[in-house]
Structures are given as C-alpha cells and as structure tokens.
Amino acid sequence: MPYCSSVSKLAGYEDAEVEETSSDINGNSVSIEFHINRNCVECGYEASTYDGSGDADFDHTCPVDHECDDDFDHDVDEVGFTLNSVDLEVGDQMRTTDRHGKPIKSYRYQRREYHVIGCASIDCDHCGETFDADLGTLDTVAASSFESESH
Ligand SMILES: [Zn+2]
Ligand SMILES: [Zn+2]
Ligand SMILES: [Zn+2]
C-alpha cells in the first residue's frame, strides 16, 4: 500500500479500472494494449498502475444469404476485417494454486491477481456484417506487478 500524504498514512485502493491505450486488427486476430489503475481510496490519486497487452483470435462465418461472387474464398484469412471498437473489463480474484498447479490451502499465501477481459466490435469487409467478438481473458497480472507510488 502506498503512503498518502493527504491523510499521512498508508492508504488502500479503490476498485481497479482499465482503459484501452491502443488496439489493432490483423487478419482474424485483435491485439490490445491497456492501462489499469487503482486510485487511492483517500484522495483519488492514481496510486497504482499496470500497462499490459494481450491478443486473441476470433471466428466469423459470412451469413449464407449475403451477396457474393461465387468463387470468392471465404477463408477467414481472405475475408478482411475492420475493428470498430473495443470494450475492456478488469476483475480480480485470489490465486488459489501455485505455479505447479497445486492448491494453496493457507489464505495467507494466496495472492491477489487481476484479469482483463475484452470484447470487440468488428465489421466483416466482405459481407458487411457488424458483429461482437468475445476475446476472453487477454491478460492475468499479479497485484505485485503493479507500480505503486506514494504521493
Ligand atoms: Zn492518496
Ligand atoms: Zn462476413
Ligand atoms: Zn461471400
């Protein structure tokens, strides 16, 4: 926990928030860079931050009734997509298994970690359909990996 000079003591955090810093689409893969912050619960200062990135593949099948040149190859690599927007959410949980996958029984040794979940709105350049792609968990980061700042 960082030291907060407005209350002259160590202060906890508000719930984590995440924002997209950049995103890109390449074939049927979306890559996203994001910024997580945890604000000081006493004064609102952005006291703890983490910058990360993740990527995920999505699937799309053009609807059967779209207008189309019959010999067009509908392989997902040929179709082409445009990224409209990205929605990110951050959640946290206690890590209950160690790095060998064994359960950690004592609460004292469990560690908090954060995960970023993504969803993207995408246009198919071929059939024109706009669809939402669930990108799943883009990254999982231990709370100890955050940069924390006394202020
Ligand atoms: Zn503060
Ligand atoms: Zn399509
Ligand atoms: Zn087609």
- Find the 70 Cα to ligand 3 centroid distance in Å: 7
Q: Render pLDDT for 29-65 as a digit per residue (tens, 0 to 9).
A: 999 999 999 999 999 999 999 999 999 999 999 998 8
Q: Render pLDDT for 67-77 as a digit per residue (tens, 0 to 9).
A: 887 788 888 77
- Give the ligand at the shortest distance from the Cα of 66: 3
Check: CB of residue 7 under 8 Å from CB of residue 1: no
**What's the token pair of residue 116?**
């970023």
- Give the ligand at the shortest distance from the Cα of 67: 3
**What's the token pair of residue 114?**
């954060």
Q: CB within 5 A of ion ligand 3: which residues?
A: 62, 68, 72
Distance from the first to the final alpha carbon of the chain: 11
How much is the pTM?
0.87
